[in-house]
Amino acid sequence: MTPPAVPSPAAASVLDLAPVVPVVVIDDAADAVPLARALVAGGLTAIEVTLRTPAALDAIRAIAAEVPDAVVGAGTVLTPGAVADAVDAGARFLVSPGWTPGLLAAMRASGVPFLPGVSTTSEVVALLEQGVREMKFFPAEAAGGTAYLASLVSPLPRARFCPTGGITLASAPAYLALPNVACVGGSWMLPRHALTSHNWPHIETLARNAAALRP
């Protein structure tokens, strides 16, 4: 029997927090709190910290403890072990670039919202069959962009996406105008020069511009 088509726990609330989810790579955990405060002050409250650096889990832990208005999540979640580590650190949602049955089971069992990654129609259908309706579309630009997602609206109206990968301030509005796109993920509000110089006011300004994108 096909499982009921229900969203992962509270996933819709994460998708609806802001039109843009910052995708953050943190090299120094000491930067996590001021960076998160700048993003939240700019209106971006859902923050995806990618598990790509040794500092990532400490960064999640610090944001969860010291920035109460942030909803911090873990991105680039690739294994069941990473699921456990991220949730233990305080991640309130999980994002993966793709999924396997084992990873999906671990994310579902974690008790926190999750967005498994897809880039093909078959992957979307497989998740819908498992009762998962909220997904990450990755890599968005390389996988077909707005034209691809628009083509999924009629045949797969239950699927809801957060496209990530190659999206910019200029291209984000076209994604957000699609009925099956709830928000987009991006890193354009986190330029390297601002991070290395700790220019948090500049990041706050860029975050505010991103938060204003909702059509």
Residue 175 resides in a domain = yes
The range of the structural domain enclosing residue 57 comes to: 11-206
Q: Write the pLDDT tens digit of every residue in 112-124.
A: 999 999 999 999 9
**Dihedral sign, CA of 175, 179, 180, 182?**
positive
Q: Write the pLDDT tens digit of every residue in 60-114.
A: 999 999 999 999 999 999 999 999 999 999 999 999 999 999 999 999 999 999 9
Which letter does DSSP use for residue 173 in this model? H
Residue 213 resides in a domain = no
- Kindly tell me the burial class for residue 196, based on how many C-beta atoms sit within 10 Å of its own C-beta (0-12, 13-18, 19 or more): exposed
Q: Which residues are paired to 164 by β-bridges?
A: 185
Residue 28 resides in a domain = yes
Taking alpha carbons only, the member of 213, 215, 209, 203 closest to residue 26 is 203
Q: Measured between alpha carbons, how far is 36 from 28 in angstroms, rounded to an integer?
A: 13
Give residues with Cβ within 8 angstroms of 44, minimum separation 6: 18, 20, 21, 22, 189, 207, 210, 211
Residue 102 resides in a domain = yes
The count of domains in the chain is 1
Which position among 134, 136, 141, 204 bears the catalytic label? 136
Is 123 assigned a catalytic role?
no
The reported pTM is 0.93
Residue 38 resides in a domain = yes
Q: Write the pLDDT tens digit of every residue in 140-160.
A: 999 999 999 999 999 999 999
Residue 172 resides in a domain = yes
Residue 35 resides in a domain = yes
Q: Which two tokens stand for residue 22?
A: 């910052």
- Kindly tell me the burial class for residue 68, based on how many C-beta atoms sit within 10 Å of its own C-beta (0-12, 13-18, 19 or more): exposed
The pLDDT, as a whole number, for residue 6 is 34
Residue 98 resides in a domain = yes
Share of the chain above pLDDT 70, in %: 93
CATH number at residue 72: 3.20.20.70
